[in-house]
Amino acid sequence: MAKKTFTVLENNPEVMNQLAYKLGLSQELEFYDVYSLTDPDLLAIIPRPVFALLVIIPLSDAWHKDREEEDGSKQIYQGVGPDEPVIWFKQTITHACGSIGLLHSVLNSQAADYIKPGSDFDKLRQDAIPLRWAERANMLSESEPFELAHEAAAQLGDTPPPTLEVADKLHQHFVSFVKAKDGHLWELEGSRKGPLDRGALAEDEDALSPKALATKYEVSVPTLGNRNLEATLAHEYEYLVRVEYREFLGANPVFH
């Protein structure tokens, strides 16, 4: 079977909201822009709690090096069943990292409580739980509702969808950071060998809490290759993704 290829998604609240709603998420929740990870005033306007942060990472040489060093000789994740802390999808569909990031954000956070019964989201969740990674990836690849929802969302946004040739040269990748049901912050990315546990968060800490943000900087910022310049690092990282950072918000969301 030929490897499936999707149209690249624009990381835009409208795009992510419509994809989530199409798959069956309640409109009580919404994606928002995050314009800074360090400015207290800009962080203060974000409604809380934040269930997940969906990020675009630049695919630099340092990023690849960090990934290879951390993954090393690890075996691919074999978690399965209702007791696994997160539902992780191995990405086998080209350019599907945006929609898989959305799946990771919704299915593994408190947002899962807002999935409509009998919806495509609900079916994807129930179908995925008893499957190991390869069967789970194949199930997602063969899901017509998932593909149709992705492709419909890909037509939205501020810019036309890129051609396949252009998309292959974008060198960016979606990653989701989620506060899961076990209270831990998880880094979820379909091109890794499995989900990454980034440590426990307190009951009153969400995915945008100071501890979670510190973890994200420690994990993600070095991928730009500037490990020793903390101030420069933070400014450069924010600039690169300032309009590409999104987070998934829970109670009392502010609707635009």
**Which of the residues are catalytic?**
97, 173
Q: Which two tokens stand for residue 217?
A: 């900087």
Q: Would you say 175 and 188 are in contact if contact means Cβ atoms under 8 Å apart?
A: yes
Helix axes 144-154, 13-23, angle to 10 degrees: 160
Q: Which of 248, 253, 249 is nearest to 54 (CA)?
A: 248
SS3 assignment, position 162: coil
d(CA 233, CA 108): 29
Q: Would you say 210 and 15 are in contact if contact means Cβ atoms under 8 Å apart?
A: no
